Amino acid sequence: MTAHAMALDLVDDPVRIAEYDAYHREAWPEVVSGLRRIGIRRMRLYRTGSRLFMYFEAPPGFDPATDYQAYTEDPRCREWDDLMREYQVRVPGASEDTWWKPMDLVFDLEAQ
């Protein structure tokens, strides 16, 4: 498995952020199975204020830019993705063709 780190912002509104958090406490089963179907076995989302950090592990060769959105081939997953985008804002520096911005690995304790 390879590790990936991504960043995204949420609309800076406490009510909207609380709604986003609530959705993720009870993610739709189709979304969970859709993410597993594309090879993601571990995923964690962290939030501070309106900034999100996503960590996930996927098979070697997994390219988030091209492979991640494959989970939305399921109509229910597409519905979830469209709904979540109503809460999300690209981080500064993200290109128009990416939603989550990949983060660079700066330090790895295991590699030391």
Name the phi and psi angles at 43, rounded to 5. Answer: -145, 140
Say which CATH number the domain at 40 has: 3.30.70.1090
19 CB contacts (<8 Å, ≥6 apart)?
A: 87
pLDDT tier at 62 (50, 70, 90 boundaries)?
A: very high
pLDDT value, residue 97: 83
In a domain, 39, yes or no: yes
In a domain, 111, yes or no: no
Q: What is the DSSP pairing of strand 101-102 with strand 88-89?
A: unpaired
* Number of domains, the chain: 1
* % the chain with pLDDT above 90: 92
Mean of pLDDT values over 34-54: 97
In a domain, 66, yes or no: yes
User: What gap in Å lies between CA 24 and CA 105, rounded to an integer?
Assistant: 26
Quick: pLDDT tens for 84-112: 999 999 999 898 888 899 999 999 999 99
Beta-strand ranges (E) seen in the chain are 2-10, 42-48, 51-58, 88-89, 101-102
The domain of 37 spans 2-106
In a domain, 112, yes or no: no
pLDDT value, residue 98: 85
pLDDT tier at 70 (50, 70, 90 boundaries)?
A: very high
pLDDT value, residue 36: 98
